[in-house]
Amino acid sequence: MSALPRSYFSAIEKISRLLTRGEEFRTTMYSILVHLARLTGMKRGMISLYRRDLEEIHVDITYGIPERSSPIYYRLGEGITGKVVASGRPIAIPRLDREPLFLDRSGARREIDRATLAFICVPVKYAGETVGALSVDRAAKGDNLKTEVAFLEIVANMLAPRVHARRIQEENVRLREAIDRHSPLGTIVGNAKSMRQVAAQINQVADSPTTVLITGETGTGKGLVAEEIHYRSQRRDEPLVRLNCGAIPENLVESELFGHQKGAFTGAVEQRIGKFEQAGKGTIFLDEIGELPLASQVKLLRVLEDREFERLGGGRTLKTNARVIAATNRDLEREVAAGRFRSDLYYRLSVFPLYLPPLRERGADIILLADYFVQQMGRKVGKQISRIDSSALDLLISYHWPGNVRELQNCLERAVLLATDGIIYGHLLPPSLQAGTGGNSLVEGHGNFQQMVQAYETTLIVEALKKAKGNQTRAAELLGTTKRIIQYKISRYGIDYRKYAGVRIS
Ligand SMILES: Nc1ncnc2c1ncn2[C@@H]1O[C@H](COP(=O)(O)OP(=O)(O)OP(=O)(O)O)[C@@H](O)[C@H]1O
Ligand SMILES: [Mg+2]
């Protein structure tokens, strides 16, 4: 190896000064490439970052390469850059025309006679790990490039801490974005264990074509969950089409689902496409599926099984790729037993059942949701609501919420409209809530606190009992307390532990 030419020392000196200036990463790196070219006769330069979380190499900074609208990537092991990062060893090519591995993905050398070019790529290593690559090309001189490789390795070592820092910073941004995207429940508010389970199920099923059957009492959020599944799937840019099977007359359901030809029945004055066709490759949400007439159930089953249907009044057989999500607040198993719902359709729909628990079983979620609706409504009507008073919290917690989240939402929206001093008081809530707790007999202070504690304890104990299948000793263990305390609370709060003896929790 020959000695380093003087100009290379100047380059090193310049680079070391650029690195200590504390300028932004891209500015610094670009200046370094410019000075490398000026002082050492290199023509083009690239600094690439290895994104280990994505397993791709991203060309981050370029010099002498035309601006491109799309970024340049290599997979690990792909092309020269990919090989250098994968192996952690430099590659020098004295004449580019003799190198089949050279991809020229940047397109910069398309117009150039490659026989006149030499190319060098060295790894950028930090703490023993390859974090990126530095590559340059220059005129081919028929030499072995050993001096240049040694020189560029020195430069790469100088850049390494900054490249490493940049990579970590980028990784963090991606991580944060991923967390935002996959926040456990998205628009669905909830922190109860049962709701976190729902979130996990949504995440698990969203991206597959699987049919989902959402069950739960009225107002528990079935519609919301259906939307969430659609928007978390690859189909999010395709239509989400709904049909409320209970809201249309029986004789029109099939025409809504599958469309009809002109003259198919009295009143069919022109051809019409149905919801399945509208949904295309998107999602069709069949709400209140329990209301679907038996005769139409057969046709729906066929679509689920063969992905085929016809418009009413004939015509060719149409194919569908739509994903089906169905919802019901009926107990479909009971409907099947009563002969009102076809068992084959039930089994076909319930491949992935998703149960939404009633609000009264979600413990502290009531308060979480109340806060959420108050803030949401406050923004909508331009009212600043600072808090929900304890008198209101008491009522919210002790009420049994037959209308679930929808009822809670209505109550609080009304209260926000009535509020005059930015505080939600108990008396702003509807009378139905007051009745449940004996109206205004609650005393301030301890009484309220105690009741909240009691509600929370009840939830904890019930959850533990479910897990322990009604076994009090086991429930006490799960809660980290003694059997004596559990027994005391169970009798004091009137919890029926025998009810949980057969409960299965999935
Ligand atoms: N966990 C939640 N977080 C935020 N909003 C919710 C949540 N659950 C329900 N909601 C809201 O409550 C209302 C009722 O929910 P939704 O219509 O999805 O219930 P549903 O189960 O479909 O009721 P139904 O059986 O009566 O059709 C909607 O405004 C919905 O946005
Ligand atoms: Mg609904």
Last residue of a domain, one of 129, 145, 178: 178
For ligand 2, a single-atom ion, which residues have Cβ within 5 Å?
223
Residue 424 belongs to a domain with what CATH number?
1.10.8.60
Structural domain span for residue 395: 360-500
Q: Is the CB of 283 under 6 A from ligand 1?
A: no
Question: Residue 132: is it exposed, middle or buried by C-beta count within 10 angstroms (0-12/13-18/19+)?
Answer: buried
The Cα–Cα gap between 93 and 101 comes to 10
Q: Give the pLDDT score at 89.
A: 96
- Claim to verify: residue 320 and residue 398 sit in the same structural domain: no
Three-state DSSP class for 144? coil
Q: Looking at the DSSP assignment, which residues form a beta bridge with residue 353?
A: 213
Ligand 1 centroid to Cα of residue 195, in Å, is 13
HEC secondary structure over 29-87: HHHHHHHHHHHHCCCEEEEEEEECCCCEEEEEEEECCCCCCCCEEEECCCHHHHHHHHH
Q: Is residue 487 situated within a structural domain? A: yes
Count of domains forming the chain: 3
The Cα–Cα gap between 405 and 475 comes to 29
Closest atom, ligand 1, to C-alpha of 329: 25
Q: Is residue 463 situated within a structural domain? A: yes
The secondary structure element, H or E, covering residue 92 is strand 91-93
The Cα–Cα gap between 156 and 240 comes to 51
- Residuewise pLDDT in 10s, the chain (506 residues): 567 788 899 999 999 999 999 888 999 999 999 999 988 888 899 999 999 878 899 999 999 887 776 788 899 999 999 999 999 999 999 998 888 878 888 777 887 888 889 999 999 999 889 999 999 998 888 777 898 999 999 999 999 999 999 988 888 777 666 655 544 455 788 888 999 999 999 999 999 999 999 999 999 999 999 999 998 899 988 889 999 999 888 888 999 999 988 887 877 778 888 999 999 999 999 999 999 999 999 999 999 999 999 998 888 899 999 999 999 999 999 999 999 999 999 999 999 999 999 999 998 889 889 989 998 899 888 888 989 988 899 899 989 999 999 999 999 999 999 999 999 999 999 988 876 544 333 333 334 566 667 777 877 888 888 888 889 999 999 888 888 888 888 888 778 787 777 654 43
Longest dimension (CA), the chain: 98
Closest atom, ligand 1, to C-alpha of 226: 18
Using most ligand atoms within 8 A of CB, pick from 231, 287, 406 the residue to mutate for ligand 1.
406
- Ligand 1 atom 5: residue of nearest CA: 188
Contact 283, 276 (CB under 8 A): no
- Claim to verify: residue 222 and residue 96 sit in the same structural domain: no
The Cα–Cα gap between 204 and 197 comes to 10
Q: Give the pLDDT score at 181.
A: 52
The Cα–Cα gap between 18 and 361 comes to 62
Closest atom, ligand 1, to C-alpha of 195: 1
pTM above 0.75, yes or no: no
- Claim to verify: residue 49 and residue 141 sit in the same structural domain: yes
- Ligand 1 atom 16: residue of nearest CA: 221
User: CA nearest 97: which of 77, 119, 81?
Assistant: 119
Q: Is residue 159 situated within a structural domain? A: yes
| Per-residue tokens: 247 | 């809201």
The Cα–Cα gap between 257 and 311 comes to 9
Residue 27 belongs to a domain with what CATH number?
3.30.450.40
The Cα–Cα gap between 161 and 403 comes to 59
Q: Is the CB of 329 under 6 A from ligand 1?
A: yes
- Claim to verify: residue 197 and residue 142 sit in the same structural domain: no
- Claim to verify: residue 286 and residue 398 sit in the same structural domain: no
Report which residue type is found at 431.
P
Q: Is the CB of 191 under 6 A from ligand 1?
A: no
Last residue of a domain, one of 336, 357, 378: 357
Q: Give the pLDDT score at 264.
A: 75
